[in-house]
Amino acid sequence: MNLHPEYIPGLLELLTVLPEEVFNYKIAARPERRRQFEKELTSQIEVALDILTACLNITELKEQVLEAFASWLRLKHGIPGSVLASHPLVLTALSSLNSELLSEAAVNVISELIHYTAAGSSGGVSVQMPLIQVLVPQVMNLKGQLRDSSKDEEDVKAIARLFSDMGDSYVELIATGSDESMLIVHALLEVASHPEYYIASMTFNFWHSLQVNLTRRESYISFMNESSIEAERNRRLQLFRPAYESLVSLVSFRIQYPQDYQDLSNEDLKEFKHTRYAVADVLIDAASVLGGDATLRILYMKLDEAAACCHNEQSEWRPAEAALFGIRAISSYVSAVEAEVMPKVMDRLLKLPQHPQLLQTVCLTIGAYSKWLDSASGGLSILPSVLDILMSGMGISEDSAAAAAVAFRQICDDCRLKLCGCLDGLFHIYHRAVSGEGSFKVAADDSLHLVEALSKVITELPPDHAKRALEALCLPVVTPLQEIVSQGPDTLNSKPARDLTVHIDRFGYIFRYVNHAEAVADAIQRLWPIFKAIFDLRAWDMRTMESLCRACKYAVRTSGRCMGITIGAMLEEIQGLYQQHHQPCFLYLSSEVIKIFGSDPSCANYLKSLIEALFMHTTRLLTSIQEFTARPDIADDCFLLASRCIRYCPQLFIPSAVFPSLVDCSLIGITVHHREASNSILTFLSDIFDLGNSAGGEQYLPIRNGVILPRGSSITRILIASLTGALPSSRLESVTYTLLSLSRAYGPQSVEWAKESISLVPLTAVTEVERSRFLKALSDAASGANVNALSVPIEDLSDVCRRNRTVMEIVQQSLRPLELNIAPGS
């Protein structure tokens, strides 16, 4: 190379690319070969670094040398920290940090070195300490450049990146609170104070990791007893308090709306909201360290300053809104009995001008502190004023109305006992919001928060009062539905779905949240004629049926066995309509009924009739993979229902004539690409295989075996085909679990089935060694080994068979999962 210097750039390029290929999954390498390749490179790392060191003499190639060095460091193997600490390549990188030409490459190297020292594969921080002691002082020397106005922004960003890398990599060391670590913390505060958000936010992950380390018990496990642990934890928390107090002040200004917020594009507005959520997370981290009450005091000072300048709707409202946003973010960390600052916050809230954005945040903040309102000594006295603000929010804009509706729900949920005596006032707000009359701007979807709110208050009433309140709650919902039904079949048939579902969804919320079984059972019985009319005339309409079945599902769940004759009428209705209209929601409503009534002997006859009718009709619909693809919702709900039957009424389902047909149907649909449908089928099969593990399941094993044994070979082959490419790799965990369940249930017999299937795959696709490792994993599962330890050989087989399109096609053509004859005896 010395004789031909023109070749050296090409050599350096090759040296850069070689280690990168370890992480290049576009290459169709077998997993074993990939691991072997990495070992080969790791074993030659010293040779590679010697070549790179020799090339340092050529000044114009230094940048390329440093980039190649960074590439080898990404392997995170092979060289002790004591060697690297004095290595010429490391020293060159450190000395180049201030070089105009080489700083970018040098930063990349130092960044990789920092990651290298923290990687478990390199021995971790303790082994790499000699190198860390060289790196940290050199990076710390760059701190002054963070505020150097003559520095290019990209240079500042690169330096900030090194400090962030140090923080993230050495967080456990920093958490001990040594003098050196506090210097790094102060440097990271410097980065966090940078005016550019994208630079400041580089530290956010560090503040979270440090908070976790300071607060979790596992960090103190080396201390011998509880008192030592508590003492050390308190020492560290006290040590880092000033840093987190500074952090709150440094980041909280970033959540303020920009002056020109009304002119922001949708993309910019989205980015601003993302910034607010990210800063809220930092405030939560601070509250975890400082305590919510202490963090609240800092944020209240900002609210107090801002509110002093906020007298009317034309005033500057943005600082007050930002302070409130921060106060809302930490609400879960503020004590419910905080008595020093929260009364002042509430007093401020009630006096702020009603600017739409400000009012929206005021409403959300009120909702966030609903538990405080319930616990505080003066909470009851301010509730009327708080409800007045929420009513104002409902009348200002759609956004503030949405926030007010959420807050109304939270207050009724947490203060429900206090509000039981204020039902008339609550119903007044509810009627205005639900009827759409008056000045309220509550959207139909947001009105569901008010339905839920009143339902939760009614739950706390005695049964007789609850029954009357429930009738009043249903009245504004049922009246428009009654009007539509009374206008005759033509009107009911021609109405847009939304005209019906807006009311039916409210019934769903009522039945879900009014926790009085008899009152809800009585309500559904009275409403059944209206529901039946909608079922009969709108069974063709998926949206309306989904809404109605959801409402019925919650009625069944809340009322349970109080439903009486209504449940029989409901099941008769859906059993007949399913055969005409094939709505998937009829299946999930049946699923809820099975869960509640499956073990009730008095319901056995009509439940047996129901499941046989539903499953028989479904198996006639789903006769090919094309049908599964066209009707994935039916497949999903059908096999969810089947799993429920195995769990709650195996005595009705497993001996039935429909059980073998449904197993055959499942084999047709396993490879459907719809995620939920495929997972439901795989869960159904694994539930069958795991039947022997369930209470009372053993009595059904002879019937199960009579169905599964003749189909075992086909089931195994389809599962192996799914594992090796017939299903996306994201489904691997579900397929693996089902295959291992089959192995546990059928032992050596299942391994023979697997051997038959895998022997069909040509050796060009899967080698003998790979087959043997796969079969051994199944054999170990069959012998009762821990299945978690068996996933690697199964994943390896999957990777080998998916390594490129050609191999995947060869495997699938040899297994032909869609062409199997799945009849018994195949």
For 418-448, the pLDDT digits (tens) are: 888 889 999 999 999 988 777 889 999 999 9
d(CA 667, CA 681): 8
User: Within a 10 A sphere around the Cβ of 376, how many other Cβ atoms?
Assistant: 19
Q: What is the pLDDT of residue 221?
A: 85
d(CA 46, CA 52): 10
- Average per-residue pLDDT for the chain: 91
Please give the sequence-ordered ranges of beta strands (E in DSSP) within 628-712, or none if there are none: none
Which residues 6+ apart lie within 8 Å of 28 measured at CB? 803, 804, 807
Q: What is the pLDDT of residue 78?
A: 67
Token representation of residue 247: 């952090």
Which residues 6+ apart lie within 8 Å of 596 measured at CB? 556, 557, 560, 561
What SS3 state is found at 244? helix
Residue 506 CA: distances (Å) to CA of 374, 411, 554, 573: 26, 19, 11, 22
Q: Is 825's pLDDT higher than 60?
A: no
DSSP H or E segment with residue 197: helix 197-200
Q: Are 350 and 383 in contact (CB under 8 A)?
A: no
Q: Are 500 and 481 in contact (CB under 8 A)?
A: yes
Phi and psi, residue 821, nearest 5°: -85, 110
Q: In 674-767, which residue ranges form alpha helices assigned H by DSSP?
A: 675-689, 701-708, 712-721, 732-758
Helices (H) and strands (E) in the chain, counts: 45, 0
User: Within a 10 A sphere around the Cβ of 635, how many other Cβ atoms?
Assistant: 29
At 826, the pLDDT band (50, 70, 90 cuts) reads very low
Longest CA pairwise span in the chain (Å) = 101
Q: Is 602's pLDDT higher than 50?
A: yes
The burial of 580, by beta-carbon neighbours within 10 Å (0-12 exposed, 13-18 middle, 19 or more buried), is given as: exposed
What SS3 state is found at 624? coil
- The four Cα atoms 360, 364, 366, 370 give a dihedral, to 10 degrees, of 160
Handedness of CA 300, 303, 309, 311 (dihedral sign): negative
d(CA 624, CA 11): 57
- Which of residues 30 and 545 earns the better pLDDT score? 545
- Sequence-separated contacts (24+) of 195-199 with Cβ below 8 Å: 196/153, 197/254, 197/275, 198/157, 199/153, 199/156, 199/157, 199/160
User: Per-residue pLDDT tens for 141-156?
Assistant: 999 888 888 888 888 9
Q: Are 558 and 515 in contact (CB under 8 A)?
A: yes
Q: What is the pLDDT of residue 747?
A: 92
Q: Is 585's pLDDT higher than 70?
A: yes
Token representation of residue 309: 């300048």
User: Per-residue pLDDT tens for 623-646?
Assistant: 999 999 999 999 999 999 999 999
User: Per-residue pLDDT tens for 285-338?
Assistant: 999 999 999 999 999 999 998 888 776 666 688 999 999 999 999 999 999 988
Q: Are 180 and 136 in contact (CB under 8 A)?
A: yes
Q: What is the CA radius of gyration of the chain?
A: 33
Mean pLDDT of 558-581: 91
User: Per-residue pLDDT tens for 503-516?
Assistant: 999 999 999 999 99
What SS3 state is found at 85? coil
User: Per-residue pLDDT tens for 144-198?
Assistant: 888 888 888 888 999 999 999 999 999 999 999 999 999 999 999 999 999 999 9
DSSP H or E segment with residue 152: none
Residue 790 CA: distances (Å) to CA of 165, 355, 723, 751: 36, 61, 14, 14
d(CA 767, CA 418): 72
Residue 17 CA to chain centroid, in angstroms? Answer: 36
Phi and psi, residue 763, nearest 5°: -65, -20
Q: What is the pTM of this model?
A: 0.86
Q: What is the pLDDT of residue 237?
A: 94
Q: Are 660 and 822 in contact (CB under 8 A)?
A: no
Instruction: State which amino acid sits at residue 718.
Output: I
**For the stretch 159-186, what's the b/e string if a residue is b when 16 or more beta carbons lie within 10 angstroms of its beta carbon?**
bbbbbbbbbbbbbebbbebeeebeebbe
By mean pLDDT, which of 56-70, 442-456, 528-542, 773-787 is the weakest? 773-787
Q: Are 74 and 112 in contact (CB under 8 A)?
A: yes
DSSP one-letter code for 770: H
**Nearest CA to 39 among 75, 14, 71?**
75
User: Within a 10 A sphere around the Cβ of 259, how many other Cβ atoms?
Assistant: 9
- The four Cα atoms 61, 63, 66, 71 give a dihedral, to 10 degrees, of -100
Which residues 6+ apart lie within 8 Å of 120 measured at CB? none
% of the chain surpassing 90 pLDDT: 74
d(CA 73, CA 19): 9
d(CA 720, CA 728): 13
Residue 395 CA: distances (Å) to CA of 225, 313, 400, 441: 58, 16, 8, 5
User: Per-residue pLDDT tens for 782-824?
Assistant: 888 777 777 888 998 999 999 889 999 999 999 988 876 444 4
Q: What is the pLDDT of residue 247?
A: 96
Q: What is the pLDDT of residue 705?
A: 96
**Nearest CA to 70 among 110, 127, 130, 38?**
110
**Nearest CA to 595 among 533, 648, 637, 643?**
648
Mean pLDDT of 568-585: 93
By mean pLDDT, which of 375-384, 662-671, 677-686 is the weakest? 375-384
Of the chain, the end-to-end C-alpha distance in Å amounts to 67
Residue 268 CA: distances (Å) to CA of 199, 200, 258, 261: 18, 18, 11, 9
Q: What is the pLDDT of residue 80?
A: 82
Q: Is 677's pLDDT higher than 70?
A: yes
